Amino acid sequence: MSASEVIARNLNEIRLAIEAACERAGRPAGSVQLIAVTKYAELDWVRALVALGEFQLGESRPQQMCRRAEELSGDVRWHMIGHVQRNKVDMVIPVAELVHSVDSLRLLRKIEGSAAAVGRRPGLLLEVNVSGEDSKDGFDPVELSTHWQEILDLQHADIRGLMTMAPRVDDPEFARPFFRKLRVFRDELADRSDGRLELPELSMGMSGDFEAGIEEGATLVRLGSRIFEGLNRGDQ
């Protein structure tokens, strides 16, 4: 099988799994958007993915996202899903459709300034470390809660929701409570927003746990390895 055929088969299985999870959760199938994470994929595979009609692509490194944005033509929408250093913000703002990984107030303030200067406002998700692991990026929920009023007052930051990463383990059921926590936290913040921020988007779920994410309310799932399963680097 060619890389394109492998990817097409994987995408088909993923779409069916997404539909089934939506069905279990009593949600319409169109309420979940797949973000194809291409950080470990060969450029040829990414081209195949785009040719198959997948235009929502995620990268975790600003340089690679910007390089690939130039290499790929067409309707690609870029999702920044990895940590963004403040000195990379000016590179990310003109390219990203949605930044999933806004993980500190300092970064958020920097984006606020750059978005105003460039006159482009990518969507933003605030990354929350709901599991409290030291190794994880993301806002501590208490910190985010404490600064919520200041965040509501930002003029140029287009904040659309929250993102989290569950601890990596084999059993997706282990991820579920963290996803639920993120949804409950989103509801709390939206309640405290005087209608100024509705936070409709929840980015939660990766290859190993996206079904649990959807059942707990994810509107965006970020899948990498599952899409390219069966391919080895160098495959055409």
Ligand X SMILES: *Cc1c(COP(=O)(O)O)cnc(C)c1O
- DSSP 8-state assignment for residue 219: S
Identify which of residues 42 and 116 has a Cβ nearer to ligand X in the complex.
42
Q: How far is the CB of 218 from ligand X (least distance, A)?
A: 12
Measured on CA atoms in the order 175, 177, 183, 188, is the torsion positive or negative? negative
Selected from 72, 164, 222, 231, the binder of ligand X by CB under 6 A is 222
Q: Which stretch binds ligand X (CB under 6 A): 11-19, 115-123, 139-147, 217-225?
A: 217-225
Q: Which amino acid is at 76?
A: V
Report which secondary-structure segment, H or E, holds 178: helix 176-191
- 65 alpha carbon, distance to own chain's centre: 14
Binding flag, residue 62, ligand X (CB under 6 A): no
Is residue 220 within 8 A of residue 35, CB to CB? The reply is yes
Q: How far is the CB of 87 from ligand X (least distance, A)?
A: 20
Binding letters toward ligand X, positions 134-163, x by CB under 6 A = ------------------------------
Output Rg (C-alpha) for the chain, integer angstroms: 17
Identify which of residues 33 and 193 has a Cβ nearer to ligand X in the complex.
33
- DSSP 8-state assignment for residue 58: E
Three-state SS at 215: helix
22 to 41, contacts with ligand X by CB under 6 A? 37, 39
Euclidean distance between CA atoms 42 and 27, whole angstroms: 34
Binding flag, residue 214, ligand X (CB under 6 A): no
Selected from 115, 212, 223, 231, the binder of ligand X by CB under 6 A is 223
Would you tell me which residues interact with ligand X (CB under 6 A)?
Answer: 37, 39, 60, 81-82, 165, 206-208, 222-226
